[in-house]
Amino acid sequence: MPVSPAPDPYEPRPSVWQRHPQLGWTLGVFAATAFLTFAAFPPLNTGEAAYVLALPAALWAYRRPPFRLFAWTVGASQVVAWTALLGWLHHVTWVGLLLLGPFVGGLASLWFLGLGWAIPRIAGQRVPFRILGLLALAALWVLGEWLRAVLFGGFPWLPLAASQWQKPFLLQMAAYGGAWTVSFVLISFNLGAAAYAHRAFFEGATGLRKRSPEFNVALLLLMGSTFPFLGDIFGQQRHRLARVALVQPYIPQEEKWDERRSQAVIQTIEAVTLDANRSGTPDVIVWPEAVIPWPLYRDPQVERWLDTIARRTGKPLLLGTVYTRPSADPEGGWFNGAVVVEPVAGLQAEPYAKRHLVPFGEYVPWRPGLGWISKFAPIGGDFERGDDPRPLGVPVGPERVPVGVLICYEDIFPGLARESAQAGAEMLAVLTNNAWYGEGGAAYQHAAHSVLRAVETRRPVIRCGNGGWSGWIDEFGYTRATLKDEHGSVYFRGAETVTVTRDLRWHGRQSFYVEHGDWFLLVCAGLAFVGYFTVLVLRPPPVREGENAY
């Protein structure tokens, strides 16, 4: 039996990096991808990170790592990033956070798995096939965002486009193809930059051979999605629409539905409202979601109190409220919605009912099997869903402004805002209660979606939160006002009157996206199919040695 030679004690031992050559890539890609994904959105709010968040994983994919190792690395990075981004959910439920964060991260990681599968098959092909492959991957990203919007009721929270909410220059194309187009351009830039980086640093290219057709196409997409739309921003003809008092009563959740504190709650609302009316001279006063501690219609004193506030201020109220059917039926359904109360005419007959309810917050899905679970909103039974997008008529002087209402997270669904615009809304109002989620990044993340809806519909958006984020956004996604206290915080009790204006060029006119809907999703489905078919079925031969692939 042969005897292996004894190891030479003077021979240098291999380092951990030499024994595990993929370890550096694994740790680097995990850390960079998780951090950049988290940094692109609030609370860090570094929108520039969206241009490179997929670059580390794409660059590693060019190096052809073991697929299982790649899958575990990018999957873990997305689970960590999305659990951190949704960390505010722990204020309501730790179980929900530890289920939803990994679930959303798992869905996001599916695209990265496609990236790890496709890049090694695209690399080395001729230019047209490489460009087609990268465009197909960008289309696949958009389809992944759409899947989140429809799967299990939908949770399209923080699409990549939302990372640009404070940099709306890039967002203008959303008026034509929806926020999907912005996500497409951003992820295309990621892929083009990765192709350029690999060409420049790992293929030993020098001089002009460093050029990357993929990066050139990505750069053209980026420029083509901004400069052609500058005409929409310039030449505005702004006209005053209304002076709006946004009231933030900032009532803690544990107090709002406590019967013992109900009188104190309405006294707080009344005091902040009357102060706002005295100091701001508004045309209309807006309250946030479910602001009243009692359900409208079921309790007669609620309507009397609202009429009293409207008469004392002499201003119409637009407010969010929980209500039952306007009848004497004690078993009538529960709704989360909004109403208008006028100083003379009183409560308008037709309320708005929320069209997209929060699972486990406002109703329990699959009630026959999950009936043992209680919803976390401690009022009434399961809420019923509304189906009418018609705006509420808010009197402003001699005219009525049709206001499309979106309650709470309805503004994360582009189709709901689009339906409101189609139904005649000239302004959108988001009434929300983010006090459920503490004072972290939730309110800012939520506000980012309102910016997307403003650009898509070319309608100004006012937002009124129980404790923030409140303000208004113009038709081009520019935040015109944000309510803050003397310390610069959006989380405070108080009110402010803002002057909402409108670009007359868009009065009575619909954006291309409102008129034609999600046509870009069909384009992405076609691109993804053609790219997959080309790579997997046609299998074009790679460039032979000595040929110029560039």
Q: Where are the domains of the chain?
A: 23-233+519-538, 238-504
pTM summary value = 0.91
Element (H, E) at 340: strand 334-342
Mean pLDDT, residues 6-13: 62
Distances in whole angstroms, Cα of residue 478 to Cα of each of 94, 103, 475, 504:
35, 32, 8, 16
Q: How many CA atoms lie within 13 A of 372 on its CB side?
A: 1
pLDDT at 14 over 70: no
pLDDT greater at residue 245 or residue 279: 245
Distances in whole angstroms, Cα of residue 458 to Cα of each of 185, 226, 235, 418:
21, 16, 15, 10
Could you tell me the pLDDT band of residue 199, with boundaries at 50, 70 and 90? confident
Residue 341, strand partner residues: 317, 347
CATH topology of domain 238-504: Nitrilase/N-carbamoyl-D-aminoacid amidohydrolase (3.60.110)
pLDDT at 372 over 50: no
Report residue 335: phi and psi, to 5°. Answer: -135, 150
pLDDT at 263 over 80: yes
Distances in whole angstroms, Cα of residue 309 to Cα of each of 189, 299, 357:
53, 17, 29
Element (H, E) at 342: strand 334-342
Per the CB < 8 A criterion, the answer to whether 317 and 285 are in contact is yes
Per the CB < 8 A criterion, the answer to whether 432 and 446 are in contact is yes
Query: What pLDDT does residue 536 have?
Result: 66
Name the residue with tokens 């798995």. Answer: 113
Give the separation between CA 435 and CA 536, rounded to whole angstroms.
50
Query: What pLDDT does residue 376 have?
Result: 54
Per the CB < 8 A criterion, the answer to whether 535 and 193 are in contact is no
% the chain with pLDDT above 70: 87
Name the residue with tokens 């990096």. Answer: 17
> Edge-to-edge strands of the sheet including 479-482?
392-396, 399-407, 427-432, 461-465, 471-473, 479-482
pLDDT greater at residue 189 or residue 226: 189
CA 489 to mean position of chain CA atoms: 21
Nearest alpha carbon to residue 75 among 48, 114, 42: 114
Integer-rounded Cα Rg, in Å, for the chain is 27
Name the residue with tokens 């030499």. Answer: 18
Element (H, E) at 403: strand 399-407
Give the separation between CA 180 and CA 335, rounded to whole angstroms.
31
